[in-house]
Structure 1
Amino acid sequence: MDGVIVGGPVATMTEGGERYGLLPDGAVAFGDGVIQWVGPAAELPSEYSGRPLTDVAGRLVTPALIDCHTHIVFGGDRAGEFEMRLEGASYEAVARAGGGILSTMRATREADEDALLASALPRVDHLIAEGVGTLEVKSGYGLTVAHEAKMLRVARRIGEVRPVRVVTSWLAAHAVPPEIDRAAYLEDVVLAGLAAAHAEGLVDAVDGFCEGIAFSADEMSRVFDRAVALGLPVKLHAEQLSHSGGAALVARYGGLSADHLEFLTDADAAAMGAAGTVAVVLPGAYYTLRQDAAPDIAALRRHRVPIAVATDCNPGSSPLTSLLLAMNMAATLFRLTPEEALAGTTRHAAAALGLGGDIGTLESGKRADLAVWSVRQPAELVYRIGYNPLAQRLIGGVPS
């Protein structure tokens, strides 16, 4: 499908020029699913002038948004334990009552692929309705080889039944289930399952939870070594609840991203900056868990670490299905600027998925994934709370 978008400001989200890469009166020409030209409307080359025109009537055009960290495929919910916690129950009491990750594990294991898909799609649809064009989905709640692979097959199916690009992450190193000892789980499920899922074409990247209650940096090194041997990029849940050495570890492996980072140090930020590892901040989890420590945004800026923003959509610590709200939270809770927040869901989110050469900015040669918003200023996408101004979304140049 060929076309040209004109009639409004275009936030290309490219670096090195105007804030937001903004063209006050821009034009975007696309064909065969990719952007072929971007620039001031007055300079539109004649070769594109005969194409069908879409006049956005003063609305803002941006890249389609990217949610680069989600656990959106899972069984059941944890609303009951949310209520228990608000009534004063401790984490231990919730666990004794059958709550926590083991509750989600049981519900995920009991659900077949069709049921998991049916429960995930309403959450996915909320993100699509807010202009999301690319979505990362992790495993991590099945905690057996078969059930982890089942989750990633469902993730692949999401991309088949909805107009959204899905990127998958193998997250078997999320928790140890009660029926198996730790060493056997790491060897027989995390490592052996990774190889099997990769052979099935289900894995785009490898993730883990590096934390005192989860897996150590030494254990994650074994997982990362296997990922590297398979030619897969790595990322990591790091420094969320304590300082566990995860950020430095993923930087040492040249990983795509380190995510959460509430207990990040300046040395961690320096290592990430040198490695080109993206920091993915997740304000939904910070808010839900009512954490005291926040990511050191100043250190990330100081060491020129790209900062991405994501929902962390999951049933326990971040039941959030609004990337627009995540941007507002990142600004109000972590003090990101509106430009940083929008870059965090476009350019830097693409880098966190290893897709910076294909999506995330409006440039010639990139996929024609665009969002049209009923606002005039990019900052308005971050400023409003509980308001969705999306007017149109194009994926590969096709309205959807």
Structure 2
Amino acid sequence: MSDSVLLTHLKAATMVDTASGYGLIKDAGIALEQGQIRWVGQIHDCPAEIAKLPTHDCGGRLVTPALIDCHTHIVHGGNRAQEFEMRLEGASYEEVARAGGGIVSTVKATRETSEEDLLEATLRRADALISEGVATIEIKSGYGLDHDTELKMLRVARAVASARPINVSTSFLGAHAVPAGADADSYIDDICIPTLKTAHAEGLVDVVDGFCEGIAFDTAQMRRVFEAARALGLPVKLHAEQLSNIGGTALAAEFDALSADHVEYASDADAEALARSGSVAVILPGAFYAIREEQAPPIAAFRKHGVHMAVATDWNPGSSPLGSVLLAMNMACTLFRLTPAEALAGTTRSAARALGFSDRGTLAAGQRADLAIWDVTSPAELSYGIGINPLHKRMFGGQFDAD
């Protein structure tokens, strides 16, 4: 297809931050040029010079920004189906972890898996997300917990963007769990932070993450990691308040984190702190569902304080083996009562914000031409369907995916 094209005969959910929710334009046109959006508006308002472009008829379909999965762990070895059985038999997420399962079991499998095999498995997962209109994914390390494996995971994450038409943001999650038999403080100082410095020097890290929880790292330990990230000029985000409230969200806000993720046990004060810092609350209904959590995120408090809410899969082998952004949207609505407009904003505009991107997530002039074209009549259908994928076509950088 030409580098310049005018998409016609469509409805555009622009997802610009307006009171209308979707920013919906009926009888719309979208002009693309050299991988960017040049113009969006009602087709009868199309400027004369844009009307001369080659056209592509979208058949009356809905066009949205391509989706963004802003929290994944898709680089990993093995699976944890056995722990799924344990939880069904009554074991809690914390009990599984303390019994040597959880993250630690995936660490063993990931260390034992070659870089080539990790990439092959990761590409299959990336393909599943691409098939649902996703054009940007975040991928974390965190299943190595040693110098070599953490770097291996980040190299695999970088390689995904070379092997597929997908944007990848990498997060160093060395502070994901305490390795078996290790001391948490010694691990942070002797393994985690030195590995972060090496990964940064090799250009493998975009963001620094951590798991601040009673079964992982406390706020003092995470503060040291965040201070190291700040010294390297790297932004931070944090798994916070998933199982309890130990101050992780407040720490994230203090460091102007891009996001605080999970946040089931966040308080009204935490929501106010996120609003002040501009940090995004990333809602992860897959983990809530899989571990049968009963404490829902404080959605009302986030709304009250104007906190941006993103929605993501948290695709990982243990607590959220969820490979569908569309299903995550449905679950966010069904389990947490997000509106369909909030769910779509959560996988477009707010998800971009959670990764520090300002060039995607809306349909507006100057944005990347990453689009999703859907066989639906209204945007609400994207959150309404359960196990339904209505994607017609995905555009990446202004080019349609090959059939």
Deviations 1:183-204 (A, max 9, x none): 2210121111111000000000
* Aligned mates of 1:99, 1:184 — CA distance in 2: 22
CA distance in 1, matches of 2:327, 2:41: 30
Shift of 1:181: 2.5
Amino acid aligned to 1:19: G
Please report the RMSD computed on the Cα atoms of aligned residues, expressed in angstroms.
1.4
Q: Which amino acid in 2 is paired with 1:295?
A: P
Residue 17 of structure 1 and its aligned partner are, at CA, apart by 5.0
Q: 2-side partners of 1:294 and 1:211: how far apart? A: 17
Partner AA of 1:378 in structure 2 = P
SS in 2 for 1:341: helix
Q: Distance in 2 between matches of 1:40 and 1:244?
A: 50
Kept after mapping to 1: 8 A contact 2:72/2:138: yes
Output the amino acid matched with 1:140. G
Cα drift, residue 93 of structure 1: 7.4
- CA distance in 1 between partners of 2:390 and 2:24 (Å): 19
Match of 1:299 in 2: 301
Letter of the aligned partner of 1:385 in structure 2? I
Q: Secondary structure at the match of 1:56?
A: strand
CA distance in structure 1 between the aligned counterparts of 2:98 and 2:188, rounded to whole angstroms: 25
Equivalences for residues 36-115 of structure 1 within 5 A: 36-88=38-90, 94=96, 99-115=101-117
In structure 2, the partner of 1:235 is 237
Q: What letter is aligned with 1:263? A: Y
Q: Distance in 1 between matches of 2:96 and 2:304?
A: 40
Deviates more, 1:46-55 or 1:365-374: 46-55
Task: Name the SS of the counterpart of 1:295 in structure 2.
Answer: coil
Alignment partner of 1:319 is 2:352: no
- Normalized against structure 2, the TM-score is what? 0.97
The CA deviation string for residues 4-54 of structure 1, in whole angstroms up to 9 with x for no partner, is 111011000001253301101111101111111111111111212222211
The alpha-carbon distance between structure 1 residues 318 and 176, as it changes in their structure 2 partners (threshold 3 A), is same
Q: Deviations over 1:76-106 (max 9, x none)?
A: 0011221233234566875687632221001
Give runs of aligned pairs for residues 284-363 of structure 1, distance below 5 A. Answer: 284-355=286-357, 357-363=358-364
Mapping of residues 193-212 of structure 1, within 5 Å = 193-212=195-214
Aligned 8 A contact 2:161 2:168 in 1: yes
Q: Does 1:187 align with 2:189?
A: yes
C-alpha distance in 1 between matches for 2:94 and 2:363: 48
Taking a change above 3 Å as real, the CA distance of residues 259 and 97 of structure 1, as seen in their structure-2 partners, is: closer
Question: Unpaired runs of 5+ in structure 2?
Answer: none
Opposite residue 157 of structure 1, the aligned amino acid is A
Residue 158 (structure 1) aligned to one of 160, 164, 175? 160
Q: 2:160 is paired with a residue of what secondary structure?
A: helix
What CA deviation, in whole Å up to 9, does each residue of 1:324-344 have, x standing for no partner? 000000000000001000000
Cα deviations by residue, 1:234-281 (Å, 9 ceiling, x for unpaired): 000000000010111110111100000100100000010011000000
Q: Percent identity?
A: 60
Cα distance change, pair 22–184 in 1 and its aligned pair in 2 (3 A): same
SS at match of 2:350: helix
Deviation at 1:176, TM superposition (A): 1.0
Instruction: Tell me if the contact between 2:93 and 2:291 (Cα under 8 Å) persists in the aligned partners.
Output: no
Correspondence 1:130-145 to 2 at 5 A: 130-145=132-147
SS state at 2:59 partner: coil
Unpaired runs of at least 5, structure 1: none
Bigger mean CA offset, 301-310 vs 117-126: 117-126
Aligned residue runs from structure 1 range 388-399, under 5 A = 388-399=389-400
Alpha-carbon separation, structure 2, partners of 1:98 and 1:300: 35
Instruction: Name the SS of the counterpart of 1:350 in structure 2.
Output: helix
Structure 1 residues 372 and 273: alpha-carbon distance in aligned structure 2, compared to 1, 3 A threshold: same
Establish whether residue 383 from structure 1 lines up as the match of residue 376 from structure 2: no
For the residues of structure 2 that align with 1:378 and 1:313, how far apart are their CA atoms? 24
Q: CA deviation at 1:362?
A: 0.6
Q: Which residue among 18, 21, 28 is the counterpart of 2:20?
A: 18
Q: CA deviation at 1:122?
A: 1.4
Instruction: Give the match for residue 29 of structure 1.
Output: 31
d(CA) in 1 for partners of 2:94 and 2:380? 42
Q: Counterparts of 1:91 and 1:364 in 2: how far apart (Å)?
A: 45
Aligned mates of 1:92, 1:61 — CA distance in 2 = 42
Task: Write the letter of the residue equivalent to 1:42.
Answer: H
Task: Tell me the CA shift for residue 112 of structure 1.
Answer: 1.3
Q: 2:87–2:291: 8 Å Cα contact kept in structure 1?
A: no
Q: Deviations over 1:306-325 (max 9, x none)?
A: 00000000000000000000
Q: Distance in 1 between matches of 2:225 and 2:53?
A: 50
The one-letter code matched in structure 1 to 2:183 is: D
Displacement over 6 Å in runs of 4+: none
1:171 aligns with 2:202: no
Equivalent position SS for 2:286: helix
In 2, Cα distance between equivalents of 1:238 and 1:274: 17
AA paired with 2:391?
L
Secondary structure at the counterpart of residue 58 of structure 1: strand
Larger deviation: 80-89 or 234-243?
80-89
Tell me what 1:224 maps to.
226
* Superposition TM-score, scaled by structure 1 size: 0.97
